[in-house]
Chains A and B, each alone.
Chain A
Amino acid sequence: MAFSTRNSSTTTKHTAKRVAIGAAAIALTLVVAGCSSGKASSTDGASKTLTIDKAFDLKTADPGRMYEPTGQLVDKALYETLLTFKGGDVSKVVDGVASLDESSDAKTFTLTLNGTHTFSDGTEMTADDVVFSLQRVIGLKGNPSFLLAGVTVTKKDAKTVVLTTKTATPALPSILANPALGILNSKVVKANGGATDSSDTAEKYLNAHSAGSGPYVLDSLNLSSKVVLTANKKYDGEQPGYGRVVIQNVEGATQKINVQGGSADVALDLSGTQAAGLGSSVDVTSDPSANVIFLLLNQSSKVSKITSNPDFVKAVKEAIDFDDLVSIAGTGTAQAAGVVPSMFLGALGEGDALKQDLAASKSDLAKSGYNGEKITLNFPSDITLNGIEFPTIAQRLQSQLKTAGITVDLAPAPVATELDAYRNGTETVGLWYWGPDYPDPSDYLVFTPGNVVGLRAGWAAGADPAISKLADAAAVGGSNDERQTQFEDLQKALNDDGPFIPLLQPGNNIAAASDVTGVVYNAVWTIDIAALRSK
């Protein structure tokens, strides 16, 4: 009887187990049968997804507030600008949605909309949209507002807008090519809180939808992980090669593995070392970037009696082994011949760059009366620029200067904390970089006495009248040839007598799967996503 009971209990357990398994199987079948797909695209033709790996610094996709490299990349795809650049050539502007008529004094800029441009909702672009977009950038007082500081925007007629400035602004055409000045669909933006002053609340809308006429529209945006774009069917130009683009936030080391493994088609943040030795399935485009890493020696005797001595500054310039710095920085890196990057109008040729001369350095050092005192070199310890780590450069400079008899104490600090000392002009020697605000040499007039970066080096107005005179002449503008000469003269004088030592233009390395074509580095928006094609 007892045996029989145990047997019955076992049978019941088995039956329960079978019922449970059966129920689970039925549930699973129902789930599978009722399943939809979460896939977003096919793998062929124009609907193919292009995956781009980028280390994000994205804060917003709202053009009026955006001024970060990732934002430029995204907004270039979403919005069109009045003027633009062709491919990677940022030394000359070309027509965007408008053509330019510039006055000879560089104070009046007449822009006429060319042809018919339509926004992604089919609305035609008018001068009202242009005026609203530009006035919004000015009125929001956001990061890109400085681009249009001192600019008055007025509508002339339905197709024409006039920009006027009180002083000569030869850089304005280059500035207008910046994606931060992309033209918005004013009706849509206004309907979603848009305004031309600080009461504007359209950012949330513009981070979820785009309101432009670019080759893509915004599908979704997560500031910390992923931006998804889809082709704009109403785009006036040639349809982009990929119907869907995913830009995902990935750090450099992982980008390399991703592009090699095939889960990413393009990797935008590889260092020179990472770019070297990629397999045959990946093509690498290496160019010097528009960032210029430089050393500043403070000219204020209150900060340092040593670095404010002109002979000491010369000795440091002559002590640096630039070739050595270029070699440790890796693929794509070039010596910065002057403060203006090599791809901009007004850049110096390689022959005008500073060169190492240890004998001259020792002689100038003796003249300066330097007695081996320790000089502090401040630098941001957590900045990695195009794969180059600032501590590595600082250590190499310390070693090179030691060879010349100059003792350097390294003082690294996180950028967020060191920035104050740099901006307040209290660093004795500083290692920093300048990323262009816009691709025009006038952006580099800040390196002259009494101007922003000059003051950071304790170089007050009137400290070097000859250089100030050259800077004043360059600020007025003229023809491209005239401007080229003006900025060359200014930079040669800066290399001879200025407190700055241009060191490097770090390499910008873009790795792309070999079936992706059209990869061209642009100093403003990195790459034009719409120009990429699949083989």
Chain B
Amino acid sequence: MSTRAKRPIPIKSSKISGAEIIYRSLEREGVKYIFGHPGAILLTLLDLFLKRSQIRHILTRHEQCAAHMAEGYARASGTVGVCLVTSGPGATNLITGITDAYMDSIPIVCLTGQVSTAMVGNDAFQEADIVGMTRTVTKHSYLVKKTDDLPRVLQEAFYIARTGRPGPVLVDLPKDVILGEAAFEVPEEPDIRGYKPTTRGHPRQIERVAAAIAEAKQPILYVGGGAIHAEAHAELLKLAETADIPVTFTLLGAGSFPSAHELSLGMLGMHGTAYANYAVCECDLLLAVGARFDDRVTGKVSEFATRAKVVHIDIDPTAIGKNKQADIPVVGDARLVLHELNKLVKAQKRPLWRKRVEKLKADFPLLFDSQSSPIKPQEAILTLSQEAGDRAIITTEVGQHQMWAAQYYNFTFPRQFISSGGLGTMGFGFPAAIGAALARPEKLAIDIAGDGSFQMVMQELATAMQYGVPVKVFLLNNYSLGMVRQWQDLFMDRRFSEVGLEVSPDYVELRPAIRKMIETPGPFILDVVVDPDELVFPMVPAGAATKDMIVRDDRKRALSGKLSALPDN
């Protein structure tokens, strides 16, 4: 009865168990990995994972990390990530991961066990109203009430997660629904009333955009995570090169456009490059592609790109006009819209604007005091970028190191940079790297981490070990050396000899250590002791306008002036 289904299998009249339906639905959706933590309610389903081999179950140490691994998998592969946890605490432990996926529009499907339908509402053992809790942080949450609904619900869940503006979907599976039986019949494509995402932009609006580009003297492309979700990078490159438009990207947009391209301005916003922020201040046309004018990007929004006509291309109509009014809104899939736009845009050169931008770049470069001791974190990331280059997929935790990674790593392809943007979840990067490593085995998954973030989820080292996932942790350690030395001890002299750990307090040792990390098979922690006094610059103080950016580490001015009186948020 081992069914190896490539096509949907409409089994007429014969009924199969809920567990079997779940397994086959996952197969049908092309799921290869599922991240989870078991519990009594899921045992029937888990039994299938042992008997079959099409889908691999990765057992994690904490459910929060299962969600982040699924996110990492989804962010790296562009397909839906899946996690499976038990009821009660298993489900509630997912919430941070689900919220993280929601804020960054990441397609994941979370399957949670639930007590039997007859017990729901009785405060039964390990019961939690996970659907109620997650209503505002998922695209949709389902509580499946009968096995007959399972095939449809699961198909819809994957469909909703990956279409439109992607996002997390939760399916709560009561025990009796898993144990019950039903026919496994689903349509080719689900038909959900009230859910019909617009993908093709309105032709008239696209014409208006093309005209605006032709008229503009100083245009800028401002690219967000939506461009990556939509796989719009090729169209974006074409548009930028044809119409000669400089490109700046958000944290989540990093990788959508080659960082080293002559038209690239790097990241904008609170810790963006000074030249990107100044260029945005000066531009007369701002082309926002799959970006949402987040507060960390705009600063004081009333003073953001004040001279510019704003074009906003987004698949989510509610994102348009939410924080910043758009002069030309285009609702649609970024790739499809740019594809249509490219048909209309004519080749153009903008020597004056390009010269101005080059001058900004020359006058306000990213700066740090290189080759000093102790190692500067920026230096460490630059060196890593030179050594690992486009072999690597980079994940980060949250904090200073995250900003430096976005500033200094040379990104060359989409989905190369994976980071928690909207929610800013500490402890995200390491499990996400495990997910990314499984999604893209031909690449090298490197978590650029700070010691505080890494400690939150360190227990997942055991997961990396158990499944031999070759993740590298590039730890920019500015505080506790002793702790990590112990882990070195722990993983070096026992059976986990494949885990290496290097401690590099010195500049000259840095490059060889990075090479060793890259070349050693299996998990590896490289502990780089960096200068704890280093701060992230440039910086737009929260709530201030981008033009009031503090450009460089003029420590005296910073400490006596702006930094000591940071406004709200």
A and B bind? no
